[in-house]
Chains A and B, each alone.
Chain A
């Protein structure tokens, strides 16, 4: 069954949606969208380094995304203007990555595959990484759910309940780097943040509790993955952007729906 590249592509898209659904809610609640962008854009630098040193793309991207995520984590909470800092890191990492890729000798690289993803090229090993990563991300989030949610709501409430909000923030930072590394194949560096934010934002209009929103975001993410892949195969459009388009359609419907009900 996994011999069929279309099946592999669909499974990869669904696996990515599973990993981004829950984490995306925290990205939205904590306003980490720029943070996601910075981490994701750094992935291109990771691609360049992977090619230069002949290591797997996943390893290279994970290493660089982790490094950037930890850098931003270390700088946060020190009174630096966060959006400016993230803008510098995000675009700096992207520009550096693009320059570095062009300097890698030999291969005339198809950069589009890393900027926008190329889900049809997913291998069985990639699939294992994506689903393995999705399981780890989900398990860590579920296990730390109450503490993460308390820290998200208010760092001081967390402290008073013996929860260290800094630790919870670090967990989210690490998971974000991991999700970037495992979803670059599917949606590419430029649209990873969309996959995190759009399903969660679409779920917000309907949900009454954080858990309800998380479940809905995951469902909408999976439906977007399936719908986007169907569109992509039918009209030969790029898969990553097609998935994001379907997710945005869900967002539009849920937002308008919520307005009408209200």
Chain B
């Protein structure tokens, strides 16, 4: 069965509907990218998925064995709150030293345990968030604009890390992004969101779709191709053969 199934979701702010008639389901092991311009309801949709928001209409069905690993867009840690990386990994559940070290290693930040969270660079911080998220052995990893504040090589390398993590854990991944050019080629499915689902399909189908072009234009095409080449080279997905 699906890990997560949303049916006919509607969400409202005081200003009016943010999402209407959104239905989608997430299958085990797949990578889904949700793209959309600012204000398109991406973050609202993700918050409904993690249970932080109740939709005003529609239903959310979670698989009984659903374990969500959530990587937020940013995390502001109040400067009055001292927090080492190691202690952060213990939230909300304490984990063993070996598991913690392994998670940091998988996320590409081995050996940072004793550092204060406040002293990490942007890239290290995102990777520590990723390490914490995978410690609960999730079968669904949710990432909200997780590469915001990283430069392009930084984002690309972060996405490769996620790909590696997914291969190891076999979890489904849902990413919310506006950075199409770096994210799309790794996805099994892209959902283009603008209050409702405009179009949906494999990256190729979506980039060719008129609704997508209307939202994003074709300006990212070049960068997209650039990264796809890079990515295929690294992971041998070989769709440019």
Which A residues form the contact surface with B (CB < 8 A)?
A: 28-31, 79, 146-147, 149-150, 152-163, 200-201, 204, 207-213
Contact = CB atoms under 8 A, between A and B. Distances in A.
B98 to A, nearest CB: 20
Nearest to A206: B82
A147 B52 contact: no
Pick from B81, B90, B93 the residue with the most CB of A within 10 Å. B81
Nearest to B86: A209
A213 B76 CA distance: 19
Interface in B39-84: 47, 50-52, 68-70, 72, 75-78, 80-84
Nearest to A26: B81
Contacts of B77: 153
B92 interface: yes
Contacts of B131: none
A247 to B, nearest CB: 16
B142 interface: yes
Interface of B: 14, 47, 50-52, 68-70, 72, 75-78, 80-84, 87, 90-94, 116, 136, 142
B74 to A, nearest CB: 9
Contacts of A29: 78, 80-81
Contact of B83 (A147, A157, A162, A209): A209
A146 B76 CA distance: 18
Q: Which 7 A-B pairs have the closest CB atoms?
A: A160-B70, A159-B52, A160-B50, A150-B92, A29-B81, A161-B92, A209-B87
B87 A210 contact: yes
A248 B36 CA distance: 51
A95 B217 CA distance: 61
Pick from B47, B52, B91 the residue with the most CB of A within 10 Å. B91
Contacts of A213: 81-82
Contact of B52 (A31, A155, A212): A155
Contacts, number: 75
Contacts of B76: 154
B70 A153 contact: no
A31 B68 CA distance: 29
Given A29-B81, A160-B70, A161-B93, 10 more contacts: A146-B93, A147-B92, A149-B91, A153-B75, A156-B70, A159-B50, A160-B52, A208-B84, A210-B87, A213-B81
Nearest to B142: A160
B84 A209 contact: yes
Contacts of A30: 78
Given A162-B51, A204-B80, A157 B91 contact: yes
A208 B81 CA distance: 9
Contacts of B94: 146
A157 B93 contact: no
Given A157-B72, A159-B50, A160-B50, A152 B81 contact: yes
A155 B47 CA distance: 11
Given A159-B52, A160-B70, A153 B81 contact: yes
Contacts of B80: 28-29, 200-201, 204
A204 B116 CA distance: 13
Contacts of B90: 146
B72 A154 contact: yes
Contacts of B82: 204, 207-210, 212-213
Nearest to A31: B78
A160 B68 contact: yes
Nearest to B68: A160
B204 to A, nearest CB: 32
Contacts of A212: 82
A184 to B, nearest CB: 26
A30 B50 CA distance: 22
Nearest to A211: B87
Nearest to A212: B82
Contacts of A158: 92
Contacts of A152: 81
A57 to B, nearest CB: 33
Given A153-B81, A204-B82, A208-B82, A160 B87 contact: no
8 contacts: A30-B78, A149-B92, A152-B81, A153-B75, A156-B50, A157-B72, A160-B70, A209-B83
